[in-house]
Amino acid sequence: MFKWFHRLGSPKIFFEMSGRWQVPLLWLSVVMLTGGAAWALLFVPPDYQQGNSVRIMYIHVPAAILAQSGYVMMSGAAAVFLIWRIKLADVAVKCIAPLGASITFIALLTGAIWGKPTWGTWWVWDARLTSTLVLFFLYIGVIALRSAMERHAGAGRACAILALVGVVNLPVIKFSVEWWYTLHQPASFSLTEKPTMPVEMWLPLLVMVVAYYLFFFAIWIMRIRNEILLTEKNTDWVKQWLATR
């Protein structure tokens, strides 16, 4: 297992292996995304309270889930980089940060769009929206630090430290914001605590969540491959690879 892990840490081997996965992965995710979206938008029955606006859930909820686990994945890669000094892990951190920020932005945006018909206003300081906003700021911090340190050799380690500090804080932030919300507002419009979702509603949701993950991984791998080509552009294997294109 560990040997495999180390082998994968070599940019060249990662590049070769991921070259085989990336296309099927991307296709699978695109098929699942279109299929899931069509299912959710056309065939799922409208909610008896929210009507058709409930369909935004299929875009919003997977994004919100992925936003959080994206940060956890980023700090996982950061930890790998700090502990084993595997350069590839740093590349992974660098490539996932803008992706995570975008997906968090999508979660915020769709949350706001969903909020308009349900709450009558674009923005509500709802516990989940607020902690997603803070999560967005955490991502922005990592991206801002990286771009400010562009010319420093220590940029990778600095960003990894920041990502780890963020992931330690994430549960504290989530907890405090949730608690702050219950303190300030009675839970009059709870969207997320639905009684029980019928199977014809959660099954497409599950498909969408999986599709989001696959798509996210596919894009992440593509970005990492790009970055590898850039940093290794002077090595023989990249030159060979380019010659065969």
Partner 1 sequence: MNLFIASVQRDLLVHFRHPSEVLNPLIFFVVVISLFPLGIGPEPGQLKEIAPGIVWVAALLATLMSMDSMFRSDFEDGSLEQVVLSEQSTFIFVLAKVASHWLLSGLPLVLLMPLAALLLFLDEAGIWALTLSLLLVSPTLSLLGGIGAALTVGLPRGGLLVTILVMPLYVPVLVLATAMVQAAEAGSETIGYIYWLLAILFGAVCLAPIATAAAVNVATDQ
CB nearer partner 1, residue 164 or residue 210: 164
Return the residue of 57, 96, 177, 207 that touches partner 1, per CB under 8 A: 177
CA separation for the pair 71, 96 (Å, rounded): 8
Q: Look at residues 12, 1, 2 and name the one whose alpha carbon lies nearest to residue 232.
A: 12
CB nearer partner 1, residue 80 or residue 177: 177
Q: Determine the size of the site formed for partner 1 (CB under 8 A).
A: 30
What is the x/- site pattern for partner 1, positions 136-165, by CB under 8 A?
-xx-xx--xx--xx--xxx--xx--xx-xx
Q: Would you state the structure tokens that stand for residue 108, as one six-digit string? A: 């915020």
Percent composition of the chain: helix, strand, coil (DSSP 3-state, to 5): 80, 0, 20
- Quick check: 168 binds partner 1 (CB under 8 A)? yes
CB nearer partner 1, residue 184 or residue 245: 184
Q: Which of residues 96-135 bind partner 1 (CB under 8 A)?
A: 134
* Shortest reach from residue 79's CB to partner 1, in Å: 12
The region of 50-58, 93-101, 170-178, 209-217 touching partner 1 under the rule CB under 8 A is: 170-178
- Quick check: 12 binds partner 1 (CB under 8 A)? no
Instruction: Please name the residues in contact with 107: beta carbons below 8 A apart, sequence gap of 6 or more.
Output: 60, 63, 64, 66, 67, 132
Note whether 28 and 193 are within 8 A (CB).
no
* Shortest reach from residue 170's CB to partner 1, in Å: 9
The region of 2-10, 14-22, 43-51, 168-176 touching partner 1 under the rule CB under 8 A is: 168-176
CA separation for the pair 229, 64 (Å, rounded): 31
- Which residue type sits at 178? E
230: helix, strand or coil: helix
- Quick check: 65 binds partner 1 (CB under 8 A)? no
Note whether 57 and 212 are within 8 A (CB).
no
CA separation for the pair 107, 113 (Å, rounded): 10
Summarize as ranges the residues that interact with partner 1 (CB under 8 A): 82, 134, 137-138, 140-141, 144-145, 148-149, 152-154, 157-158, 161-162, 164-166, 168-169, 172-173, 175-177, 179-180, 183
